[in-house]
Structure 1
Amino acid sequence: MAAEGSDQLLQVVTLLGAAVVAVPLFKRLGLGSVLGYLAAGLVIGPFGLKFFDDAESVIHIAELGVVMFLFVIGLEMKPSNLWNLRRQIFGLGSMQVVLAASMLTFVGITVLGMPWQVSFVSASGFVLTSTAVVMQLLSERHESATPEGQRIVSILLFQDLLIVPLLAAVAFLAPTTEAAILADQTPIWMKIGKSALSLGILIAAGLWLLNPMFRILAKSRAREVMTAAALLVVLGAAFLMELGGLSMAMGAFIAGVLLSESSFRHQLEADIEPFRGLLLGLFFLGVGMSLNLEVVWHNALMVVSSVLALMAGNASMIYLVARLTKSKHRDALSRAMMMAQGGEFAFVIYSAAAEQGVMSATTHANMTAIVVLSMALTPLILVLGQRFLKNNNQVDMQGVDDVQDNELRGNVLIIGFGRVGQIASQAPIAYGAHISIIDMDPNVIRRAAKYGFKVYYGNGVRADVLRAAGAQNADCIMICINKIEITTRIVETVRHLFPNVKTIVRAYDREHALALLKAEADYFIRETFDAAINMGETAVKMLGAEDSEAEEISARVRRLDSERFALEAAGDDFAGQALLLGNQTQGVNEDDAEDDKDVDAEEEKA
């Protein structure tokens, strides 16, 4: 018993040691953490130093890392945002999967000489991009919250939904034998009903049970109990979906979406994060272990040519779909490089195909090796691709410091240093305040440095960036960016993590101002409102009014606007009537904002 315990402890120490050594080394070389984990798994696995004999058991446990990753993504995606993404999820996702699967099926039949059934199953598994790899890469590149990042997440969600239909297709293609018929006599309507029941139970629990449960647990003030409850929600949702024959990751994602409006959202994310990162790293280690070097060696030409052919075909279709849906060339190329590999769900589909006689054991081993190699190649392709894009006028990070490498201590934190941030900073500076500034645009950062401003690179949505920027030490935070959803999310994060810090926020328009009011911003101002009021007052003076009369009219317009805003904020039934009282002077302040970067920094400094 003691010897068995020592062996298990040695395996744990080996896993941790491999990760601790390989990941920093590969990140230092600019190859990313994913490739570091894969390489470490290969070294310690059954085809390396043989510390482990069964990679499948490691992968099975570590799949919970992918599940937790989807839960965190769900926490950041409110139901309204998810509804707004419905066209991307079902439209963009279905277009990419159908075209890519068709292309790869054709490649398998014509180039690799596979029967059409085997080619279809191989292609269908390969087009299900690795959620783990892509989400990790998006996280490292800080692109999860960008519009392009949201499109990629939408496609990944649609691919998760395809697991059940594809497994059903594998069963349909399986050779019909008496044993196969006896093995599964469950009617299809019963399977669908089971899936629908699992989904219904999860949604009902999310709507009526989870929030009351967390409120009760929060009163206990036991941090470990809240952590246990967070794990219970994630693993319970995953288990419920698995019972219904659906994707575990999809169950966790739905649970996250249902809790995205909860006041416990940030606490849940903080509790899950350490487990997510550790298990996701373990997953990549398991994938590295599963690469069968003997299969690669004996079928080197076929495996290498298949990897290149399948990745090239997949990437071409991803790029084509991106361009057809009006993505820029650079975004489409980046998406194609990031999503061209096969993923973890391919292992599930290939195993099912091998068990049911659709795919031979040799083909199964070859396709598994091809998928693992494609996952390992993706970080390298992205490194080379970034250099290519950089050589084609991509904005580089030279001369830009990351806020996470510094501990800022300003008593005023400014997020966004475009035309609004530059002007808004002047008064605190004149008062003698110590300001800290972060921005996401390297060009803005370098331009500001010419005029004596030290601006750090950082995404204000992320809690770790806010802490590194000194949000906890600030008296107030000025949020001066022009992205509506991101601004609102920053306010929500600050309100939860630093409730004593005041927020001064740039509102894009009236609707955004109402959203900021709901998010409990301390002060907000519509970016074009004052300018429009001043223009109207000047027009009245030009029409012949005295200064005092023009000022009185402006004051009345402001008062009516405030009354309308208060009525709208309260949801009063008379808000529409109040709006009619002043609508002739209101419309001008809803003009679209100019882009932050259009005004030259030298004019703003002056």
Structure 2
Amino acid sequence: MAVEGGGGDLLPVVMLLGAAVVAVPLFKRLGLGSVLGYLAAGLAIGPFGLGWFSNPQTILHTAELDVVMFLFIIGLEMRPSHLWGLRRAIFGLGSLQAVVCGTLLTLVGVAFGFSWTVSFVSAMGFVLTSTAIVMQLLGERGDVAAPRGQKIVAVLLFEDLLIVPLLAVVAFLAPHAAGEAAPAGSRWATVGLAAGAVGVLVAAGLWLLNPLFRVLANAKAREVMTAAALLVVLGAALLMQLGGLSMAMGAFLAGVLLSESTFRHQLEADVEPFRGLLLGLFFLGVGMSLDLAVVARNWVLIVSGVLSLMLVKALCIYGVARLARSSHADALDRAVLMAQGGEFAFVLFAAALAAGVIDPVVNANMTAIVVLSMALTPLTVLLHKRFASPAEVSMEGVEAVSERSANVLIIGFGRVGQIASQGVLARGATLTIIDNDTQMIRDAQAYGFKVYYGDGSREDVLHAAGAQHACAIVVCIDDKAAATHIAKLAQAACPQARVLVRAFDREHALELANVGADYFVRETFESSMLLGREALLATGAREDEADEIMERVRRRDAERFDLEVAGGLFAGRALILGNIAKRNAQQAEAQAPAQ
């Protein structure tokens, strides 16, 4: 039952959205990820599943705009200075990976009995990794901005740019009639047209776009800003397409040119919802395009092709990464993420089919191989995450905590820890800071803070950090269970220190009271009290009246808290009183010789 007939019919849209809404949460619930959910939904409703749609290429063609918008957003994050800093990764690592993988994958095609030409086109199509899948998986685990994520992004950028010369190579490989040759003038005209398109885009980005957005911002028309953002993305893509270049390349260049603009974050926010919607549409289209009839007829060739191409590409990527001095864990992670073919393979295969370089059977088989490789990637990533040994923490530029002496020990140097340290630093007290986030430690060094690597939930680390000599241990981490454990450990191991803890909420504060923490404050309580006071002043209350009302609120909250502790919501009131009595006895004993 094909449903995409009527122009104003909403049934196809409802079916697409319904399939996504059902499949994606289900697959995420099973731990399989959203990408595999979209692919499975597309396969289920496509022409080779339930048959609700008969022409997935229409959806794929529309959803290709996802790649365009995605690269625009990537371009917004790539300031020219940052892009220049990645030049070695983009053109060095990217070109090395493309050459090595392309060569070995071509040999795989020859081993399967195909000609050199067909093997080369098929191999280079498989070299072009799926930007949509890899960036989605990187985004889900928060690695896009991490160093290893940036290297992957650099390689993806190079491969996206590689589609342009590859299309030219396909045109060169096209069989011509006897005596027919492409005139040299037309080739130079093509090159000139492409260079002119790039020049026009760069000029517009440098001199037109910022004044345009400034005028629109002054007009206070939010919907026009959104329309202008889409106009920039699609206009840049169209300009590059007219110049014979990649649409994605145009969007990326437009993003780079606007990366230094004051409107960068607004543009990203305007484009992101469209990109996310098209991303799901793209994966649905990929799932629909998997021709199960072709797979059934040539299953031996297709299955062996998927396994051999993915394995060889993964080994190539791992070898290149290790050659570029990446760690074993990072190289293996990159190999698992990038072992599939990508969306630009469909573009390359379509061009090769139109030029007569490959026949329809090869095109159908290679399309099925690429789609299956894309569908298998989330599963291989899941298996790698589940069975691979944990990656070693990179200690480059980070000093582990050693035997130290401290008046105050701060555990956790995030938002709360940074603010809590200011008063101690201003007084000139000896301060030791530990954290287990190596990237944060490196970032803190840029601002003059010396932060040591250490796990505050371990007693030996606390002693090495000087907790046994500290007058205060300030626990500022955002993990409730870990903060409670550290408070309990510090109470037992360092009785001379006051244990001051950041509480997440009221329930967490009750837990901390139960383990005997000396002082704890809910992370939103004081800020909420200040906001409430300002709200009172806004209603016309006097300063003294506002202070009196907020003091009553604070007192009632403290009374309720004491009642909750005493009322048995958390057992252990006797333990709290015992800790207080023990603390008083220790203080009296310490003061006795002085008297």
TM range (shorter): 0.5 to 0.7
Q: Tell me by how many angstroms 1:447 deviates.
A: 3.3
Q: 1:363 to 1:196 in 2, by over 3 A?
A: same
Matched residue, 2:150: 150
Name the structure 1 match of 2:106: 105
Map of 1:115-154 to 2, 5 A cutoff? 115-154=115-154
Paired AA for residue 40 in structure 1: A
Separation in structure 1 between the aligned mates of residue 65 and residue 132 of structure 2, nearest angstrom: 11
Shift in CA distance, 102/429, structure 1 to aligned 2, threshold 3 Å = same
Show the counterpart of 2:477.
455
Asked whether the 8 Å contact 1:128–1:159 carries over to 2, the reply is yes
Counterpart Cα distance in 1 of 2:24 and 2:455 = 31
Helix, strand or coil at the partner of 2:197: helix
Question: Structure 1 residues 452, 179: CA separation in 2 closer, same or farther (over 3 Å shift)?
Answer: farther
2:106 and 2:116 in contact (8 A); partners too? yes
Q: CA separation of 1:427/1:349 partners in 2, compared to 1, >3 Å: closer, same or farther? A: closer
Q: Secondary structure at the match of 2:64?
A: helix
What secondary structure is seen at the aligned counterpart in 1 of 2:244?
coil
What corresponds to 2:66 in structure 1? 65
Instruction: Give the SS at the match of 2:315.
Output: helix
CA deviation map 1:78-101 (0-9, x unaligned): 111011111111111100000000
CA contact (8 A) 1:66 1:132 kept: yes
Give the % identical residues.
61
Q: CA deviation at 1:456?
A: 3.7
Per the TM alignment, residue 47 of structure 1 is displaced from its structure 2 partner at its CA by 0.5
Give the 5 Å matches for 1:472-483: none
How well do the aligned residues superpose, as a CA RMSD in angstroms?
3.2
CA contact (8 A) 1:71 1:234 kept: yes
Whether 2:420 is the aligned partner of 1:425: answer: yes
Note if 1:248 corresponds to 2:247: yes
Query: Which residue in 1 is equivalent to 2:512?
Result: none
The yes-or-no answer on 1:276 pairing with 2:285 is no
Pairwise CA distance, 1:475: 12
**Cα distance in 1 between the residues matched to 2:31 and 2:478:** 21
Instruction: Give the unaligned 5+ runs of structure 2.
Output: 394-410, 427-434, 441-452, 460-472, 480-522, 531-595
Moved more, 69-78 or 448-457: 448-457
AA of the residue aligned to 1:246: L
Q: Distance in 1 between matches of 2:164 and 2:422?
A: 59
Deviation at 1:329, TM superposition (A): 0.5
Q: Determine the C-alpha separation between the residues in 2 that align with 1:419 and 1:225.
A: 38
For the 8 Å contact 1:31–1:379, the answer to whether it is kept is: yes
Q: Rg larger in 1 or in 2?
A: 2
Equivalent position SS for 1:30: coil
Partner of 2:13: 12
Q: Is the 8 A contact 2:122 2:349 kept in 1?
A: yes
Partner residue in 1 for 2:95:
94
Q: Deviations over 1:146-170 (max 9, x none)?
A: 1111111111111111112111111
Q: Which residue of 1 aligns with 2:352?
A: 353
Tell me the TM-score normalized by structure 1.
0.67
Label 1:393 to 1:344 Cα distance change in 2 as closer, same or farther (>3 A).
closer
Going from structure 1 to structure 2, the CA distance change for 1:324 and 1:16 (only over 3 Å counts) comes to: same
Establish whether residue 231 from structure 1 lines up as the match of residue 209 from structure 2.
no
| CA pair 4-364 structure 1, distance change in 2 beyond 3 A | closer
The answer for the alignment partner of 2:590 in structure 1 is none
- The question of whether the paired residues in 2 share the 8 Å contact of 1:323 and 1:332 is answered with yes
Shift of 1:449: 10
Counting only pairs closer than 5 Å after superposition, residues 197-212 of structure 1 correspond to structure 2 as 197-212=196-211
Q: Please give the alpha-carbon distance, in whole angstroms, between the structure 2 residues aligned to 1:67 and 1:34.
A: 18
Question: Partners of 1:92 and 1:173 in 2: how far apart?
Answer: 27
1:81 & 1:126 partners in 2: Cα distance?
29
Q: Aligned partners of 1:152 and 1:441: how far apart in 2?
A: 20
Q: Report matched runs for 1:417-566 at 5 Å.
A: 417-418=412-413, 422=417, 425-426=420-421, 447=456, 453=475, 455-456=477-478
How much does 1:46 deviate?
0.7
- Contact kept, 8 Å, 2:36 with 2:375, in 1: the verdict is yes
Displacement, 1:178? 6.1
Distance 1:22 1:240 in 2: 37
Residue 186 of structure 1, CA deviation: 6.7
Is contact 1:296-1:369 (8 Å) kept? yes
Change (3 A) 1:360 1:4: closer
**Hey, what's the Cα distance between the residues in 1 that align with 2:128 and 2:382?**
22
User: How far apart are 1:388 and its partner, in Å?
Assistant: 2.2
> Contact (CA 8 Å) 1:38, 1:376: kept in 2 or not?
yes
Separation in 2, partners of 1:225, 1:117: 49
Contact preservation (8 Å) 1:104, 1:310: yes
**2:414, 2:476 within 8 Å by CA — same for their partners in 1?**
no
Q: Indicate whether 1:195 and 2:194 are aligned.
A: yes
Residue 400 of structure 1 is matched in structure 2 by: none
The separation in 1 between residues aligned to 2:44 and 2:436, in whole angstroms, is 41
The alignment covers a number of residue pairs equal to: 435
Does the 8 Å contact 1:44/1:289 carry over to 2? yes
Shift of 1:446: 6.7
Residues 5 and 475 (structure 1 numbering): CA distance in 2 closer, same or farther, change over 3 Å? farther
Distance change in 2, residues 1:440/1:274 (3 Å): farther
- TM-score of the two chains, using structure 2 as the length reference: 0.68
Per-residue Cα deviation, 1:41-70 (whole angstroms, up to 9, x for no partner): 101111011111111110111111111111
Compared CA separation, residues 174 and 430, structure 1 to 2 (3 A): closer
- Distance (Å, rounded) in 2 between the aligned partners of 1:3 and 1:21: 20
Work out the CA distance in 2 between the residues paired with 1:423 and 1:263. 28
1:368-416 CA distances to partner (integer Å, 9 max, x unpaired)? 0000000000010001111222x35668xxxxxxxxxxxxxxxxxxxx9
Compute the displacement of 1:445 (Å). 10
Hey, what does 1:169 align to over in structure 2? 169
Deviation at 1:453, TM superposition (A): 3.7
What is the aligned partner in structure 2 of residue 328 from structure 1? 327
Equivalent position SS for 1:425: helix
Per the TM alignment, residue 417 of structure 1 is displaced from its structure 2 partner at its CA by: 3.1
Q: 1:226 to 1:423 in 2, by over 3 A?
A: closer
Aligned partner of 2:197: which letter?
S
Which letter does structure 2 place at the counterpart of 1:278?
A: L
Distance 1:323 1:270 in 2: 37
Unaligned residue ranges in structure 1 (runs of 5+): 396-415, 432-437, 458-468, 477-606
Distance 1:384 1:73 in 2: 28
Task: Quote the residue 1:505 is aligned against.
Answer: none
Structure 1 residue 354, shift from structure 2 partner: 1.3
The CA distance in 2 between the partners of 1:343 and 1:179, in whole Å, is 36
Deviation, 1:455, is 3.0
Q: 1:260 to 1:361 in 2, by over 3 A?
A: same
* Cα separation, 2, equivalents of 1:188 and 1:372: 34
8 A Cα contact 1:445 1:456, kept in partner: no
**d(CA) in 2 for partners of 1:452 and 1:289?**
56
Query: Matched residues in 2 for 1:4 and 1:176: separation?
Result: 39
